[in-house]
A and B are shown apart, each in its own frame.
Chain A
Amino acid sequence: MTSANKTGQTPSKRAPSARVSDHLFAAIPTIWLALFFLAPLGFTVVYSFGNSLFGAVELGFTLKNYQTALSGFYLTTFLRTVQFAVTASALCLVVAFPVAYFIARKAGRFRTLALVLILIPYFSSFLVRVMSWQILLARGGVVEVILNFLHLHDGPLDLLDTKTAVFIGMVYAYLPIAIVPLFVVLDRIPGPLLEASRDLGASRFQTFWAVTLPLARPGIATAVLLTAVPMLGEMVIPKLLGGSRGVLMGQAISSQYLQSQNYALGSAMAVLVLIAVAVVVAALARLTKGFAEVSA
């Protein structure tokens, strides 16, 4: 009995203490998130149903703010923002995929160097990186000089403050975030699978289409997620490179909060963006689920 007790006690003594410390470690980020993420989010949701006073919100329950946010100008802005984020994210993906593919499968011993080079710009401020495009794209700037030299363009180039400039800035700023997850999946595709595909008579394109691309799906989904979601709220790049023309959601929300001091409408608009993000995440989660089946 004594021995049984002893053997029984030892693990039961250890287990709770281990559990307490586990809980403690889990509690810190949970409390952090609850305090600084969920609480403000809760305020936003509550505000979105309230009545706006200038610089304050009278709590209550009205759908008025959502009606405004989903009608006329604001609806157009919302749809334009979604379209904008999807397009920019797709562009990013198109540029990132070949780069990631090259690094993962062709770069050999230079792959680490290539990855480091891609990540190095992150050591400087986002604002500085975007603003440097103002200099490159301006009249008489480097881009104009190069295009003129290559005879691809003649005369002054007015790219700055255009939609094209915004897309250039977007793809540039988010490219590394798209490359990294793509690199990770492409790197993990076992070589023998591709060889098997070839042995079974598939052409290079067929192999890519039927083997590589489906296996890269989670990477694609992650890349889209990591680029499209922040793009939905992007406001710096359109401001610095697009001349603040064609207002997007991020800017519209910020001006409701700050200039109009209309927290209720700003909140409703923010909640709508969150819903859009949730839809994107859910769709991509489905896409990634397919991968679990493939790899299992």
Chain B
Amino acid sequence: MTRHLLLPQGSSKRAGFSRRSLLGLLGAAPAALALQSAFPGRASAAEPVSGGALNVFSWPNYFSNDSLAEYARKSGVTPNITSYDSNETLFAKLNSPAGADFDLVIPSSSWIKQLADRGLLQEIDHSRLNFGSLDPSLLNRDYDPGNKYSIPKDWGVLGVVYDPEAVGGEIKTWQDFLDAGAKPGVSGKVRLSDSGWETIGMSLWTHGKDWNKATEAEIRAAGEEIKAFAKHVKTFGGLDPNQLANGAIVLAQTNQGTARAAIALNPKLKFVVPGPMSELWVDNYAIPAKAPNLDQVYDFLAYQLEPAVQISETQYIGFPAALAGLRDKLPSDTKDVDLIFGGKDLDFDKLTSFVVDPATVGVYLEVQTEIQAAAGG
């Protein structure tokens, strides 16, 4: 494995740099190699393929190089990976003739329903894969009941990283976040997400609303609250952990991966997933409706779901894979292991996944654009 940058450049996948640049956060390459040898004799799918093609369309750098090499050696199939940088790009491509060759794609939870509703994905044959090894709290969620179209690959949460000293207290709710951001000394050093549903979501959750059921009027009303807050915001761009380490930003919406990188640079910082609700995003394996190489896809998926590969993937991309009990299976010298899983007491019941609805997604986006404009600059 090549040695990757330890620090991510951004927090949101729409920020130009993806959360997938968090490579190698968990530790160095040798650990991954050691792990692979620690799990000899992996049980593999019933009838392993030998050779053939497999075209994967994925986020950049989203598969462990070691695992891929191992798989190529074992199966004779070298996955051909091309990448996209947003779910929207994935959607546009699958929705066009250019998407006909793909066997495997990695959409986020927010887009599974759209892709499935438009007939762009095929149902997954559960009999060909072992779902039993996966974390039950990541299965059967709102965005894809029964996991008809998706298999969780890895996940993250929307939380807040902050400097308790600068903010002058603890942050427990999104209301705390908004109050703290308005304080002198904090105002102007705040980072908000560039995703409309993540910024407006803060206000919707505070008022007890469900972001997947909010009406246009409710979204706009919540947006007004965030618009009024926008003057305190310094950036909606990708979050560089150094900005948190050097105090240019003291309060930021971000995922646990960027937070972990920032805390590694400045241990004073804290990460919290505020209440009453926050976001869980899950990136998923899914099979396009017209995937030409189904045998290879299922063989590859079976391999990807093996525990050793899941651990190696977690180490490579820096976000937790979907393996049940993954936390206890990570090497004991892994730093800040709680943070990888969104903090010690993360309550999955208080997490909700956004589902893109054509009727409202445009409103979220429009209001976000207005929020960013209201921030001036």
List the interface of chain A (C-beta within 8 A of B): 53-55, 73, 76-77, 134, 138-140, 156, 158, 160-163, 166, 238-240, 242-247, 251-252, 255-256, 258-262
Contacts and interface: CB of A to CB of B under 8 A. Distances in A.
Interface size class of B (residues with CB under 8 A): 35 or more
B361 A259 contact: yes
B365 A245 contact: no
Given A252-B369, A255-B365, A243 B89 contact: no
A42 B356 CA distance: 30
29 contacts: A54-B358, A55-B95, A76-B373, A77-B369, A77-B373, A138-B243, A160-B243, A161-B377, A163-B377, A238-B377, A239-B237, A240-B237, A243-B375, A243-B377, A244-B236, A245-B236, A245-B372, A245-B377, A246-B372, A246-B377, A252-B369, A255-B365, A258-B86, A258-B88, A259-B361, A261-B88, A261-B358, A261-B361, A262-B362
Interface in B326-377: 358, 361-362, 365-366, 369-370, 372-373, 375-377
Nearest to A243: B235
Contact of B365 (A242, A244, A260): A260
A140 B246 contact: yes
B237 A138 contact: no
Contact of B194 (A73, A156, A244, A256): A244
B247 interface: yes
A238 B375 CA distance: 13
B214 interface: no
Contacts of B14: 259
B88 A245 contact: no
Most buried by A among B194, B240, B248, B377: B377
Interface of B: 14, 16, 86, 88-89, 91-92, 95, 118, 188, 194, 196, 233-237, 240, 242-243, 246-248, 358, 361-362, 365-366, 369-370, 372-373, 375-377
A244 B361 contact: no
Contacts, number: 103
A247 B373 contact: yes
B248 A139 contact: yes
A54 to B, nearest CB: 3
A244 B194 CA distance: 8
A140 B366 CA distance: 36
Contacts of B366: 73, 260
A252 B375 CA distance: 15
Contact of B373 (A160, A163, A246): A246
B375 A245 contact: yes
Nearest to A77: B373
A247 B369 CA distance: 7
B361 A73 contact: no
A205 B247 CA distance: 49
B92 A244 contact: no
A238 B377 CA distance: 9
Given A55-B91, A259-B88, A260-B366, A244 B237 contact: yes
A73 B373 contact: yes
A54 B95 CA distance: 11
Contacts of B88: 258-259, 261
Contact of A161 (B86, B234, B358, B373): B234
Nearest to A159: B248
Contacts of A243: 233-237, 375, 377
A160 B16 contact: no
Contacts of A134: 240
Given A134-B240, A261-B358, A73 B375 contact: no
A260 B248 CA distance: 32
Nearest to B14: A259
Given A259-B361, A261-B91, A246 B246 contact: no
A121 to B, nearest CB: 21
B70 to A, nearest CB: 33
A134 B242 CA distance: 11
A262 B365 CA distance: 11
B237 A246 contact: no
Nearest to A238: B377
A160 B248 contact: yes
A256 B188 CA distance: 28
A138 B247 contact: no
A247 B246 contact: no
Contact of A138 (B95, B242, B361, B372): B242
Contacts of B365: 255-256, 259-260
A93 to B, nearest CB: 23
B89 A258 contact: yes
A55 B92 contact: yes
A247 B376 CA distance: 8
B254 to A, nearest CB: 14
B377 A162 contact: yes
Given A139-B248, A258-B89, A240 B16 contact: yes
Given A138-B243, A156-B247, A244-B237, A239 B16 contact: yes
Contacts of A54: 358, 361
A68 to B, nearest CB: 10
A258 B92 contact: yes
A243 B238 CA distance: 8
Contacts of A255: 365, 369
B372 A247 contact: yes
Given A73-B369, A261-B88, 12 more contacts: A53-B358, A55-B92, A73-B370, A160-B243, A161-B237, A166-B377, A240-B237, A244-B235, A245-B236, A246-B372, A246-B373, A259-B365
A158 B236 contact: no
A260 B95 CA distance: 15
Contacts of B196: 259
A245 B235 contact: yes
Nearest to A160: B248
Given A139-B248, A258-B92, A260-B366, A245 B233 contact: yes
Nearest to A68: B366
Contacts of A260: 361-362, 365-366
A156 B243 CA distance: 12
A159 B295 CA distance: 54
